[in-house]
Amino acid sequence: MDHFLYHNGVLHAEDVPLSEIAEAVGTPFYCYSTATLTRHFRLFDEALAGMDHLVCYAMKAASNQAILKTLAALGAGMDVVSGGEYARAKAAGVPGERIVFSGVGKTRDEMRQALIGGIRQFNVESEPEMVALNAVALELGVRAPITIRVNPDVDAKTHAKIATGKSENKFGIPIARAREVYAQAAALPGLEVIGIDVHIGSQLTELAPFRLAYEKVAELTQVLRADGHDIRRLDLGGGLGIPYTRSNEAPPLPTEYGALIREVLGHLGCEIEIEPGRLIAGNAGILVARVIYVKSGEGRDFLILDAAMNDLIRPAMYDAHHDIVPLVEAAPGVEQQPYDVVGPVCESGDTFAKGRMLPPLAEGDLVAFRSAGAYGAVMSSEYNTRPLVPEVLVHGRDFAVIRSRPTFDEMINRDTIPEWL
């Protein structure tokens, strides 16, 4: 469910007509719903009620500080994967004890940054990282709390580019070597082993892969405890998918996911961490664009929009589907027609959809890409010297620009000309 609905034939974000925002800030722009962000976070939090747990929002999905502050006020922790994300979380007022640091390539500077600023734990991905973190912690005279990410070799049955739990993926250590690596960690004086980490991928639409992975984690927990390790926290990652189309079967609900966690891991008495990103932010955001031209081609019509692949790269990068809807609702019975929906960038890959059935549209009409809140604005770029688009947050009848569109001068003036030129 989201809070982008038609009222009197006009698409609204909560109580704000999206056409009103378009008039105020121009197009294209991203728009997020506070009510949807709140609802989705609470679904996860309530799914684990009664268990010792922390829902750590995966910031890589959408990292604007207004979004972070909205979720932090609800009690969310943050899952970060870079020093920049760590700095964003702290700037948004998230205390270090609610920040988890993930990622395969943490640098010593990033480790130092988090140890000085405060950190809940590092999710360690390799033995070289473990050695480096131990050295930094000893240098600072502290012990670094760690979980070790294990790779359970489970097929998440998702897109190959977002699968992370198979043996060929770069993430974590093979679960078969876990006892050996945990023993090495326990021998390093700068590290404090507190738990296990696992994450098998993103946009999972069934629970079976989670069950397989979590059953392996449950078994490993017992084995490591028998080896003398104080395993008291299980970081289960994220990955629960969202419905990108209105017609397909809905992925499992957070309540069903929470019930699975209770069933498979509840008897262990561990604190549970989960790291949802896409399901919290995905359907909480849309991208609004304007039709520049309607072009008739050889056997097809093109909708050329003012949004491009640099604004929303998921279709070009993953062949991802986003529902596209007009801001003014079509009258009942209007016959739809196929369009190739494209942007103005000089690449054939700048295509959002082919043969998409839409009501007749004309130059100047506004359309919205649904389910664009996750991996939308955060993956955008200034390719073709196109400005990053504004981000807008809606709260009831109010809206605010939470990232402004830069001017051409601001973009160009970031360049520095060498003195010999």
Annotated catalytic residue: which of 31, 56, 270, 346? 346
Question: Whole-angstrom Cα distance, residue 150 to residue 364?
Answer: 51
Question: Whole-angstrom Cα distance, residue 8 to residue 214?
Answer: 47
31 is catalytic: no
Contact between 68 and 89 under an 8 Å Cβ cutoff? The reply is yes
Per the annotation, binding residues are: 239, 275-278, 314, 318, 347, 375
Per the annotation, binding residues for pyridoxal 5'-phosphate are: 239, 275-278, 375
7-13, long-range: CB < 8 A, 24+ apart = 9/328, 9/329, 10/327, 10/328, 10/329, 11/325, 11/326, 11/327, 11/328, 11/329, 11/368, 13/286, 13/394, 13/399
Question: Whole-angstrom Cα distance, residue 216 to residue 198?
Answer: 10
Per the annotation, binding residues for substrate are: 278, 314, 318, 347, 375
- Give the distance between the most distant pair of CA atoms in the chain: 71
Active site members = 346
